Amino acid sequence: MFSPSQEEHCVPTKEPVKYGELVVLGYNGSLPNGDRGRRKSRFALYKRAKANGVKPSTVHILNTPQASKAVNCKGQHSISYTLSRNQTVVVEYSHDKDTDMFQIGRSTEGPIDFVVTDTVSGGGDGEDTPITQSTISRFACRVVCERNPPYTARIYAAGFDTSKNIFLGEKAAKWKNPDGHMDGLTTNGVLVMHPRDGFTEESKPGVWREISVCGDVYTLRETRSAQTRGKLVESESNVLQDGSLVDLCGATLLWRTADGLFHTPTQKHLEALRQELNAARPQCPVGLNTLAFPSMQRCSRALASGPTQEDKQPWVYLACGHVHGYHDWGHRSERDPNAQRECPMCRTVGPYVPLWLGCEPAFYVDTGAPTYAFVPCGHVCSEKSARYWAEIPLPHGTHAFHAACPFCTTQLNLTQKWAKLIFQEPVD
């Protein structure tokens, strides 16, 4: 028999409810200079000790700027829609005991839970490569999660600032819906893409849409900051699904649900795959030296410092996929020696790059062996993951879309987006 104190001691501590995680494309598991404070490469959303969600309540139509200030001074969350100098519609929001709200943006002020800065293509974390003018909004968007199962997460454009206000000025796209409620879009918009067939090896990319301040779904505007909104897509919603992508015009985030993360490969699994690759003792077909993929820590550091030429580091001729050790011959261009090299195995000419295992598990759609490399960056992952990401047109700048490596956001080659790796097994 347990004594009461022993019984209390044996009661398991309750695990906090995890709604899901947002992972920034391009940082391969962590920021090169370290994940610090609210600025990270990934952000886990947990059920809060006390609900902080809000929901629309009272609507005020105000004809003087003074009246608008008086309403906003009440310390209540509100969204202000400036229609003209003389007219502002203020929608007050009241406490919602059934939801938790998480805010994402470039601002480092208190209301922002997850600070996101512009992703530098090809790695780097923005500190060493300054962005002259960020296109990410200071209060970009908010994710609202239901506190009760199934813990549905919804995304909305814009976040509340330090005065608990979202302010849509005269120039912002805004309108009154047929049912009378106001809505609008942020300057560069919040785009969302839900994958078809979930985030699995059967997944196919969905269609990019824009999310309004009130969470409605619209087709894309003609340009990112055009005054005219797209068409309302009534058949779709702002509910985030496992594998949904959220683009903030400068950074793209991947949403993974708690259940989705449970079925995804872990760091341990990726490490086991790396060790399995190395245990097969792949050889350089020319130098006959044994090759070995660097550790996960080295993979992350490589984003910050650039590739190193180590004896065992596998390199690949991307045009044909033959894996070698580093060597210094076969140049076709003096200016950029690795851009055009002739493979000694098959004479194919193409880029010659080091291989790095993609070490952010959330980007994998399956647990398959890492046998494919993205072109031209050389990040290695499973075949189905490579094929999936190669099909996704990711927003780039304010008007372009192109496929990119999820681990470093380098734009993929238009004619050859990935290469199947051909390893030489040991001769002995």
Assigned domain for 5 exists: no
Same domain, 251 and 293: no
Query: What phi and psi, each to the nearest 5 degrees, are found at residue 399?
Result: -145, -15
Assigned domain for 359 exists: yes
User: What's the CA gap between 316 and 247, in Å, rounded?
Assistant: 32
Same domain, 247 and 289: no
Assigned domain for 91 exists: yes
Count Cβ atoms below 10 Å from residue 363 Cβ, excluding itself: 24
In 3D, which of 178, 171, 181, 206 has the Cα closest to residue 191? Answer: 206
Assigned domain for 26 exists: yes
Residue 287 sits in which domain range?
267-420
* Boundary of a domain, candidates 263, 288, 320: 263
Q: How confident is the model at residue 127 (pLDDT cuts 50, 70, 90)?
A: very low
Assigned domain for 322 exists: yes
- pLDDT on residue 288: 84
Same domain, 196 and 57: yes
pLDDT in tens, 166-222: 999 778 899 999 988 999 999 889 999 999 988 998 999 999 999 999 999 999 998
Assigned domain for 11 exists: no
In 3D, which of 57, 87, 98 has the Cα closest to residue 74? Answer: 57
Same domain, 234 and 304: no
Residue 420, pLDDT above cutoff 90: yes
User: What's the CA gap between 243 and 152, in Å, rounded?
Assistant: 14
| Preceding amide of 150 cis, omega within 30 | yes
Residue 4, pLDDT above cutoff 50: no
Q: How confident is the model at residue 36 (pLDDT cuts 50, 70, 90)?
A: confident
Same domain, 307 and 236: no
In 3D, which of 361, 340, 189 has the Cα closest to residue 270? Answer: 361
For the chain, what's the residue count? Answer: 428
Same domain, 256 and 274: no
Secondary element (H or E) of residue 267: helix 267-279
CATH number, domain at 384?
Answer: 3.30.40
| DSSP annotation string for 23-65 | EETTSTTS-TT--BTTB-SEEEEE--SS--EEEEEEEEEESSH
Question: How many domains, in total, are found in the chain?
Answer: 2
Same domain, 145 and 249: yes
Assigned domain for 6 exists: no
Residues in a beta bridge with 239: 154
* Boundary of a domain, candidates 225, 243, 263: 263
Query: What phi and psi, each to the nearest 5 degrees, are found at residue 275?
Result: -65, -35
Assigned domain for 1 exists: no
Same domain, 105 and 190: yes
Same domain, 188 and 238: yes
The whole-model pTM stands at 0.89
* Boundary of a domain, candidates 207, 238, 263: 263
pLDDT in tens, 287-317: 888 899 988 766 655 554 454 555 689 999 9
SS (H, E, C) 301-338: HHHHHCCCCCCCCCEEECCCCEEECCCCCCECCCCCCC
Same domain, 254 and 290: no
Same domain, 102 and 246: yes
Same domain, 294 and 415: yes
pLDDT in tens, 372-410: 999 999 999 999 999 999 999 999 877 789 999 999 999
